[in-house]
Amino acid sequence: MKPYYFLAFIPVVAFLIGVPLVNQIELYVLGLPFTMFWIVLWVILSSLTIFILYRFDPQDEEEVSE
pLDDT at 47 (0 to 100): 92
**Sign of the four-CA dihedral 31, 33, 39, 45:** positive
Q: How far apart are CA 13 and CA 9, in angstroms?
A: 6
Residue 63's pLDDT band (cuts 50, 70, 90): low
Rounded (5°) CA angle 34-32-19: 30
Select from 39, 32, 35 the least CA-distant residue to 11: 39
Residue 65 pLDDT greater than 90, yes or no: no
Question: Given this model, what pLDDT does residue 5 score?
Answer: 74
pLDDT for residue 21: 84
What value does the mean pLDDT of the chain take? 81
Q: How many CA atoms lie within 13 A of 55 on its CB side?
A: 7
